[in-house]
Amino acid sequence: MPKGFYVLIAAQFASGLADNALMILGIFFLQEQGYPAWWSPLLKFSFNLAYVLLASLVGPIADAFSKGHLMAWLNVLKMLGVIFLLLGVHPLLAFSVTGLAAAVYAPAKYGLVTEVVPASGLVKANGWLEGSVVMSVILGVALGGALTAWHSVDLVWAARHGWSHWGLVGVSTQILGAFMVVLAVYAVSVLLNAGLPRQLTLNVRRPLSWRALQWSEFWQNHLQLWKDPLGGVSLFVTTLYWGVGAVLQFAVLAWAQTSLGLSMQRAAYLQALVAVGVILGAMMAARCFRIFNARKALPWGLLLAGMLPLLAVTENLAWAIPMLMLAGWAGGMLLVPMNAVLQHRGFKILSPGRSIAVQGFNENLSVLLMLAVYSFLVAWGVTLLTIMMGMACVLMVGMLPLCLQRHRRRAMPGL
């Protein structure tokens, strides 16, 4: 790995840690403020909305600036989103601001890795990157769950006094101190990104032009990646995975609270077990797969599909723990090789920032659609088992043809 690569991983970890803790705190905040249950998925919906609406902008912006410095400023913007929430801005709008920063952060992060790591090391680099992403999910969810129990009366009083002194409205919440911790973690990521070695900040930049920002230009890039035999398959798999995974994130919380009778704090810890499995699967995938044999990972998608309805009917914690970890393992084994192929082909066909923007558009459009359906079904009182069965069918129908095709071909075409 190039010098400074692990500083980049640490910066990504800190940013992701704060993102995931903030999401758990946001869900608790909605419950505290009296919002109905179907509002919770809308937090992630608003967070991911910018990935889709600004898809034509984020890639060229990431390519036009020093990616390390840009990521530092984007974490500052995430901090502003948290501050807006505390000042009384509507939660969906505040999370949209944080999501806007995340939408540009993603192509900058993945694009920087693609630029500084040779193709032969991309699977290993993705193992590190996805490992840090998933570890930030594990610890971020755990941190958010732990912080929901931290109620500081002194901080709430001090905030109210300060807000009234400056003529600000502010919001009344028991977890003000928890949000302050999230702000501090974002600040650490800012410092790490700002301190990246010079070799990583002097990446090749592409001039920012009006044509590059146009939707028609982005759509052409989008079609190029989809039409590529390898890029299209990997893009389809990652798009499907992230859509189902987004629903799984909220379904596990609901399942743990209803079927297992756990509190919000303990449910968040249980949700983190999926991420533990993902990071173990990611580590194994980095050892087992290279770009040329990445399609061998496709059957893991079928295993993940089979796990979803089994989880929904499980009411025993002792069985739930290994099942959640196995589901995560399958996801990690599937995602890391597919991401490596997608980034390699995107770099060859387009550019780092533009290819990641296309990837982000498709994956987050899938997230938005899946979460909208999930929120609608929850609002209408559809059972969790029915929802999980539906997600399993979607994943199975999407993955089975690809697995059969791989079985017939027995080998991946040359890159």
Q: Which domain holds residue 248?
A: 5-198+212-409
pLDDT per residue as tens digits for the range 193-205:
887 765 555 555 5
The arithmetic mean of pLDDT across residues 258-275, rounded, is 75
pLDDT at 102 over 80: yes
Residue 162 included in any domain: yes
Cβ proximity of 325 and 284 under 8 Å: no
Residue 37 included in any domain: yes
Residue 206 included in any domain: no
Residue 415 included in any domain: no
pLDDT at 261 over 70: yes
Q: What pLDDT does 46 receive? A: 87
pLDDT at 172 over 70: yes
| Nearest C-alpha neighbor of 224 from the set 339, 354, 367, 335 | 354
pTM of the model: 0.69
Distances (CA, A) of 308 to 224, 232, 384: 33, 26, 11
Q: Any idea what DSSP says for residue 411? A: S
CATH number for the domain harbouring residue 315: 1.20.1250.20
Range among 65-79, 157-171, 214-228, 233-247 rated most confident:
65-79
Q: What is the DSSP string of 107-163?
A: HHHHHHHHHHS-GGGHHHHHHHHHHHHHHHHHHHHHHHHHHTT---HHHHHHHHHHH
Residue 250 included in any domain: yes
pLDDT at 236 over 60: yes
The arithmetic mean of pLDDT across residues 252-258, rounded, is 79
The arithmetic mean of pLDDT across residues 2-24, rounded, is 86
Residue 151 included in any domain: yes
pLDDT at 346 over 70: yes
Average pLDDT of the chain is: 78
The arithmetic mean of pLDDT across residues 113-127, rounded, is 70
pLDDT per residue as tens digits for the range 32-47:
888 887 788 888 888 8
The arithmetic mean of pLDDT across residues 225-248, rounded, is 82
How many domains does the chain divide into?
A: 1
Residue 205 included in any domain: no
Distances (CA, A) of 149 to 131, 167, 180: 28, 29, 14
Confidence label for 407 from pLDDT (cuts 50, 70 and 90): low
| Nearest C-alpha neighbor of 364 from the set 207, 246, 229, 193 | 246
**Minimum mean pLDDT range among 10-24, 43-57, 86-100, 250-264:** 250-264
- Looking at the chain, the whole-number percentage of residues with pLDDT higher than 70 is 81
